[in-house]
Chains A and B, each alone.
Chain A
Amino acid sequence: MQKDLTYKSASQVPPQEGFREAYLLHLADTTLILSQRNSEWCGHGPILEQDIAITNISLDLLGQSRNFYQYATQLINNTTNTKAAKVLPSGEDLGGATDEDKLAYLRTEREFKNLLLVELPKGDWGQTILRQYLFSQYQYLLFEQLQQHADEQLAAICTKALKEIKYHVRWSSEWVIRLGDGTTESNARMIKAIEEIWRYTGEMFIPVEYETISGIDFSALKKQWEEKIKEVFEEATLSIPEKIFMQTGGKTGVHTEHLGYILTDLQYLQRTYPNSQW
């Protein structure tokens, strides 16, 4: 039902065209939105070191996001097929050449292809930690495979990012264990966080059309991911919910109500003062 949202004129565009650009935007949007969410902790972290940690992670994610946007920009601007170029940042008149800022600041909610997981509110520290761990572990396993991708620039971005993600995984998994196997209060909060978040994790492993270019075996990836999560959850005395309905839609632009608010925040300046620069 949602299949055609990414490609407004799907009937006119051969199926493979624009897949790579759309996939890059999916990776870029996902890291951008999570970076923006985590940065809400800046100045509000539970203690100084952890405030610095979560904002450092935000910065790493923003860097990854910029790399993906820049590469997408390059592809979009170099494409000789105007149809392929048009299906990308649809809805907005990009006035010819696009750039990373336009992609981040001038696309609408329905054009964002990020995972639903990353747009959820930051919640309490437990929810932020849990989301980060579930995402970082996924990103680690995914990028490990994308390092081998035939697209050299995509592979280069992922290889570079992995060095940082390794730290995100360790930091967030240690916090999941600390809070899960902590006090009665922290344990209860983690159980609540799982209830809130878990149903948004399924989407990571349910590929949409453009993800075929990733060459990833998503069911194998899911298995690998679940094994890792299980190990950490066991140590954290937490359990994985069983047979839960999974929310999807983010990858094709169908979002929760939370994305609109975060974009309003993120895009305010550029929308209010068009073309303003640092």
Chain B
Amino acid sequence: MESQLALIEQSFNSRYSCHVREALDELPDSFTITDPSICGHPIVYASRGFLKMCGYSREEVIGQNGRIFQGPGTDRRSVMEIREAIREERTIQLNLLNYRKDGTPFWMLFHMNPIFSKEDGTAIHFLAVQVPLSGRGRRRGRRSHDSGTEDVIFGSCRKEVCFDSLLEVGRVLEHNNSVLDSEDSAGVVDIEETCEANELEKRRAASAIKNILSVLTHYSELTGRLVCGKRGCCNGTSPLGSSVAISLGRIKQSFVLTDMHLPDMPIVYASDAFLKLTGYSRHEVLGRNCRFLSGMDTDPSTLFHIKESIRAERPCTVRILNYRKDGSSFWNLLHISPVRSASGKNAYFVGVQMEEGGCRNQGGGGLSTEMRHRSTVGAVRVALRTLSMGSGSSKVE
């Protein structure tokens, strides 16, 4: 786990400098920042307000994924909506039921914004602001069940949903799972009923986002690696969006993805494990051809074999001497394979590295080298099958 924490430290500091935490710590709001490029899409920063709201300490939260705050009463469809907003790198706002460390549930307005890198337009972080709801949201029709506990009936709704009553009819009504006795709604569904976080709460969320973004933007200027809150102000387009990055980020194995159709077949994705194995940082390898891994004693005939396989768009497995950033060498059991995109045509090459005699337990457990090679290729294929998909909205209106 330490290596993940180290990655987290590095990811945050290299982007915003180590001074940003002080500035963020001054803000009163509850918010978290997560990094989709790190395996597990973990929280890399949690504000004091957030920790206070949910009852956890910083150590318990950094490195965890946001799902630890979900529980039995959390609406699954809302979870899916958040997942898809992440995948599509867009903003989302909805009411969500979360759980504190002591197990008590609470409703909040969840507002999430991607933070884009100005140089290539990728979403490098996600910023989420949480506004606890007072429970006095506007309700039409039904009598309120305010009994002092959180026995109120909320609808989950989003800011973006338009005000067509037909749509509001379809909203899921939640009642707090801590109250299961029949004294509650008795399951009768009054489908006209909706609730919104009130205007004040929504404005709180919006202004918190604005403040935090401005802090982050300011500090990113210090490192020169600028960010912005909107994709539009970014220069290039990234070859792989955060959606694929997240799918690929679940793969624990060391591997890279190179783009077959770009000149000199540059690396467009590198896993955390690859960075750990070779000692490079992500921005040192993206955009480069893999040949930087070879060195003085690398067998040229092996290189030739690789080149030939690439040319023929054929998989191959080789044992090649590679070099880390610090100059040390290692024997790499390398498997490469062409991978198709959703168009059905070959578009990428995946290279899976396994250090001979190296750390055997990268989650592979009882699987052989060949099996680990193949399972990585398989997982990459699944992720890339949907690469060109989902550029549309996942919002159902």
Are the chains A and B members of one assembly?
no
Interface of B toward A, CB cutoff 8 Å: none
Interface of A toward B, CB cutoff 8 Å: none
